[in-house]
Chains A and B, each alone.
Chain A
Amino acid sequence: MIRADILKAIIPVISDEFVVSNIGLPSQELHMLDDQPTNFYMLGTMGLASSIGLGLALSQKETVIAIDGDGSVLTNFGTLPTIANNVADNFILLIIDNGSYGSTGDQPTYAGGKTSLAKVAEACGCENVIECKASETKDILETAIKSKKMTIIVSKCESGNIPVPVIDIDPAVIRYRFMKEVEARN
């Protein structure tokens, strides 16, 4: 399975939840497959999906799922100790780990080499860290949401992309409609 297959599989689980999705193809794929006002698409700023997700989770009560990539977590490693030390039980960090920088031409990342993001997250003090196969992601994510415990999921999948259109929504509109949903549900 590649990242787009995981996204397709988890859409029934995340469609009605607040999702912060990573820059580049992950946001474009999610936008194409299931555009929702509850999706915050990152159009720039590589690495900050988990930080935005944590800030959001700490500031309101609804569940927040940050969909991140291995390359983006590597670029913002400082996020993991912050997450570990500021537990938000309404926060789930789903790292789709395809061992490559998918949006820039599938160059390999160190997560596809010797570095285990799950072990790094544990060493940073994160509890409830689960590494899984791509095919298990939907069930594990569903269980994590129901558990009401902050969970880090590292889903190992294959590298590869599907053709997707660009996101033609103004960033201020993405932010505005997202905030209206947050307001309505809190």
Chain B
Amino acid sequence: MSITQNMLNAMVKNKIEFVTTVPCKQLSGIIELLENDERILHIPSNKEDEGMGLCAGAYMGGKRPCIIMQNTAIGVTINTLVTLIQYYRMPLPILISYRGEVGEKVQCQVEMAVHTKALLEQLKIPTYHFHEPKDADEFDGILNHTFMAKKPVAILTDANFWSSIS
């Protein structure tokens, strides 16, 4: 079974039933799997802060949420992370394509990559970084930890990770 499918299965195992996405090329595989998985309601959003609003509503409605987005969206979502997700103490796994790392072809992506970990650290968001395929083994535990802690948690997935598993 593919690592991407295993990641989706880890979401289901952790009772995630509501996932919103804003696409990224690196994430196209997992988004396609998600769209075709009847165990999870997939609601694409137009902007990542809107997506986090949807996730907050889903959580309060009794469905565990997850958002899948690109690291450039950290800039879009800082206020929402702080004044909605953290302020109301809500759990939210954030699966992030970490663009702009080694293997990147688009120069502009590097500009946000250099700020990504610093911003997450400033926001006190627990952050995990998937670089090798085996790192995905931790996904199940990270999701479990997220809902226990009731915090937003970032999982950065870089170009090496996605190119190694596809």
A residues with CB within 8 A of B: 20, 40, 42-45, 47-60, 76, 78-79, 81-82, 86, 171-172, 174-175, 178-179, 182-183, 186
Contact = CB atoms under 8 A, between A and B. Distances in A.
B142 to A, nearest CB: 22
Nearest to B150: A172
B103 interface: no
Given A44-B87, A175-B60, A52 B53 contact: yes
Interface of B: 17-18, 41, 43-47, 49-63, 65, 79-80, 82-84, 87-90
Interface majority SS (helix, strand, loop, mixed), chain A: helix
24 contacts: A20-B57, A40-B60, A44-B87, A48-B50, A48-B56, A48-B80, A50-B53, A51-B50, A51-B56, A52-B56, A52-B57, A55-B53, A55-B56, A55-B58, A56-B60, A56-B61, A58-B54, A59-B63, A76-B49, A76-B50, A82-B45, A171-B87, A172-B88, A182-B61
A55 B65 contact: yes
Contact of B84 (A45, A54, A79): A45
Contacts of A49: 53
A179 B84 CA distance: 15
A43 B58 contact: no
Contacts of A86: 43
A37 B90 CA distance: 18
Contacts of A76: 47, 49-50, 53
A81 B50 CA distance: 11
